[in-house]
Amino acid sequence: MSNFTDFFPAASGGGGGAIPKYEEFTSSGTFTPSQALIDAGGRVAYFIVGGGEKGQTYDGRKIGGAGGQVKMGYATLTSTTGCTVTIGAGGSSTSGEDGGASSVAFSSAGGTDITANGGSGEARPSNGSNYGGWQYTNNSLYHAASASPGILGYGGGGAGYENSSIYSPGVYTGLANTGQGSAYNRSAGSGFVRITWFE
């Protein structure tokens, strides 16, 4: 197992002077590495979530939208050049609209670009990392098939039925900046980016 200081060399510096930093994006913008970050080794951790898919109907069934893809990892940067951050929109207009991809262009500062795809394919996992639930009929009762819970609350699949809290599995309306898929006729959650580092 790797040591924490393998990823963040400054954490082992003399006098314990490393200071944890993070920046979160709920809308598109620019991440600009500080010189102190580069001097400490340029290592950053990223958490990137694509936008969720809007639920839809198909063959008489209501289908929860797929959650956006969630990507976590590390990048090593070598310069203080700004990196474009794109936040994917959640599907909100047409039924079954795919979520938009979220990304960070780390290559601008010497790293590798990272993209988390938006949710698509509703109950059938496709670009999205998490599927939505199905609504079906049994003796005139509606049921919401379980939807994927996502990762740490992000990128969960939408519920198959949106009208009653009785049918609890999944998400009805995708909460903002969670990348959650939505139930039929509800807007899905937009994406999210968090970058963490020490300096």
Segments forming the whole domain that contains residue 26: 20-198
Q: What tokens does 160 get?
A: 């198959």
Q: What tokens does 137 get?
A: 């009929």
Q: What tokens does 90 get?
A: 């959640």
pLDDT of 165 > 50? The answer is no
Q: Give the residue among 37, 21, 59 at the shortest CA–CA distance from 184.
A: 59
User: What is residue 62's predicted lDDT score, i.e. its pLDDT?
Assistant: 73
The residue ranking higher by pLDDT, 113 or 183, is 113
DSSP 123-169: TS-SSSSBPPPBEEEETTEEEE------BTTBSPPBPS--S-TTS-S
- Least-confidence region, from 42-51, 119-128, 176-185: 119-128
Residue 4 lies in a domain: no
Residue 110 lies in a domain: yes
Q: Helix count (H) and strand count (E) of the chain? A: 2, 12
**How many domains would you assign to the chain?**
1
Residue 103 lies in a domain: yes
Residue 26 lies in a domain: yes
User: What is residue 196's predicted lDDT score, i.e. its pLDDT?
Assistant: 97
Q: If you average pLDDT over every residue of the chain, what do you get?
A: 79
pTM of this structure: 0.81
pLDDT of 198 > 80? The answer is yes
Query: Would you call 45 exposed, middle or buried from its count of C-beta atoms within 10 A (0-12, 13-18, 19+)?
Result: middle
The residue ranking higher by pLDDT, 33 or 125, is 33
Residue 159 lies in a domain: yes
Residue 7 lies in a domain: no
Contact 75, 103 (CB under 8 A): no
Residue 164 lies in a domain: yes
Residue 173 lies in a domain: yes
User: What is residue 70's predicted lDDT score, i.e. its pLDDT?
Assistant: 93
pLDDT tens digits, one per residue of 41-73: 999 999 999 999 888 876 666 778 888 999 999
| pLDDT confidence tier of residue 127, bands split at 50, 70 and 90 | very low
